[in-house]
């Protein structure tokens, strides 16, 4: 199975961050796209956070931080497969929702893009024989996250985020879209809070 990330995907994330017409914004939805045939939304957001770029990238790569801040994550670990670091994560939910697990590859690079230093983190779901499906869990196989960050001065960062997650199972697409969209403001606030706490440790 293909797990690697093409170099152009890092460049594309940088280009999204530096779109010339995106000046003077706070947080906004750059686009909400319906991905057919699932009917699920892809999200693109851009804005500023009170943290330097390297701290934001550190947080996104820190599996321990994710485990501490997301109570549904009950198991998470990283291992080497085919020369890449692969992450396994297990999430358990209340009785109305099936528990889920996910296998994904996450990569980080620092790029010099058009004279600007940009931190890029890419994560994408994958399928590997070393991680067979577990009984009682729905495997989240379709997920992708892109993060591009550059300094905005005064301990702040310009941030571009792309996110698509298909949780699988039998949850209606309209309900998934509603929950995801409503969760985004809280996710951004939590990410900023995690960065502020990270800087104080």
Give 186 or 147, the one with higher predicted confidence: 147
Residue 84 has pLDDT above 90, yes or no: no
> Which of 139, 197, 188, 195 has its CA nearest to residue 163?
188
> Which of 82, 72, 92, 90 has its CA nearest to residue 3?
82
Write down the domain spans for the chain: 32-200
- 108-129 tens-digit pLDDT: 999 999 888 999 999 999 999 9
CA distance 45 to 109: 20
Confidence of residue 66 (pLDDT cuts 50, 70, 90): confident
pLDDT, average across residues 96-118: 90
pLDDT, average across residues 63-74: 85
Residues whose CB falls within 8 Å of the CB of residue 192, separated by 6 or more in sequence, listed in order = 49, 50, 51
| pLDDT value of residue 25 | 47
Give 134 or 71, the one with higher predicted confidence: 134
Give the 3-state secondary structure of residue 95.
Answer: coil
- By the 8 A CB rule, do 69 and 195 touch? no
Strands 116-125 and 100-113 turn out to be antiparallel
Q: What Rg do the C-alpha atoms of the chain give, in angstroms?
A: 17
| CATH class of segment(s) 32-200 | alpha beta
- 154-177 tens-digit pLDDT: 888 989 999 999 998 888 899 888
> Which of 159, 181, 135, 194 has its CA nearest to residue 13?
159
Average pLDDT, the chain: 85
Residue 77 has pLDDT above 60, yes or no: yes
What do you get for the CA distance between the two ends of the chain, in Å? Answer: 39
Give the 3-state secondary structure of residue 7.
Answer: helix
In this structure, which long-range contacts are made by residues 63-68, counting pairs with CB atoms below 8 Å and at least 24 apart in sequence? 63/87, 65/194, 65/198
């Amino acid at each position: 199975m293909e797990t690697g990330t093409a170099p152009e995907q890092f460049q594309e994330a940088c280009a999204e961050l530096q779109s010339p017409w995106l000046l003077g914004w706070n947080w906004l939805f750059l686009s909400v796209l319906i991905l057919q045939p699932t009917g699920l939304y892809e999200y693109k957001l851009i804005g500023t956070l009170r943290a330097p770029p390297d701290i934001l990238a550190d947080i996104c790569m820190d599996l321990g931080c994710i485990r501490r801040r997301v109570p549904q994550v009950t198991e998470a670990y990283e291992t080497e497969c085919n020369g890449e670091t692969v992450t396994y994560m297990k999430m358990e939910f209340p009785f109305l929702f099936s528990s889920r697990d996910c296998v994904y590859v996450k990569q980080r690079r620092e790029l010099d893009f058009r004279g600007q230093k940009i931190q890029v983190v890419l994560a994408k779901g994958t399928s590997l024989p070393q991680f067979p499906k577990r009984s009682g869990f729905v495997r989240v196989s379709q997920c992708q996250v892109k993060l591009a960050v550059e300094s905005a001065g005064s301990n702040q960062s310009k941030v571009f985020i792309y996110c698509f997650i298909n949780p699988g199972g039998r949850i209606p697409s309209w309900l998934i879209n509603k929950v995801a969209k409503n969760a985004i403001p809280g996710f951004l606030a939590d990410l900023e809070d995690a960065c502020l706490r990270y800087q104080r440790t």
